[in-house]
Structure formats: C-alpha cells, structure tokens
Amino acid sequence: MPRSQRSTPFTRHTAVELRKEPTPAESRLWSYIRNDQLGVAFRRQHAIGPFIADFCCVEKKLILELDGSQHLEQAAYDAERTAFLESQDYRVLRFWNNEVLNELEGVM
C-alpha cells in the first residue's frame, strides 16, 4: 500500500523555495541548530499538512517558529496553524526575530 503524503505538492514546493532565501533570523538560528549540534536533527521549512514549519525536529515533535512584525496582523492565522500542528502532536515554540538576532543565548 502506498505511503500517505504528509503535505501537498504545492506546500512542498513552497517549502523548497523558502529554504532558498532565509530571513536573517532564520539563518542565525539555523547556524546553531543544524547538523545535530543540539543532539537532535532539525529540518528547515518543513511541510506538515497545509503548513510549513520554520524549523522542525520530527524525532521530538518540536517546532520552532520565528515571527516578524507581520505576525502582529495575522494572529488568527497563527492560532489556526498552531492548533493544527498541535493536533498532529507537535509542540510549537515561537520566538520573535529580534529575540533570535539580539538574545540568541536566551532563545537557546
């Protein structure tokens, strides 16, 4: 029996495109969590259902989201997204971009 897909081809394609141009905050955090530096593997721009997680540790079911100022205006969308991801048994941690850029030790 074929394996079910975790997301749509469009979502997977969008995730690939997002990986090509990370934000400064995404680049900074990625440099600290890539290559199992924390003892677990993270994926960047990982498609889950109709959504794309900024960083995802599938093994620990943990998602790290980095939010910029646009998230102030999309609280309802973010709540829906978080509810979906939590329904898939993921824990979602959100950080502001400026936290990653200016207080990375606290984020880590």
CA distance 83 to 79: 6
pTM of the predicted structure, to 2 decimals: 0.86
Q: Tell me the residue ranges of DSSP E strands in 13-108.
A: 43-48, 51-57, 62-67, 91-96
What does each of the 108 residues of the chain score in pLDDT, given as a tens digit?
Answer: 444 457 788 888 888 888 899 999 999 999 999 999 899 999 999 999 999 999 999 999 999 999 886 656 778 888 999 999 999 999 999 999 999 999 999 988
Tokens representing residue 54 in the block:
């900024």
Q: Which residue has the tokens 């995802």?
A: 56
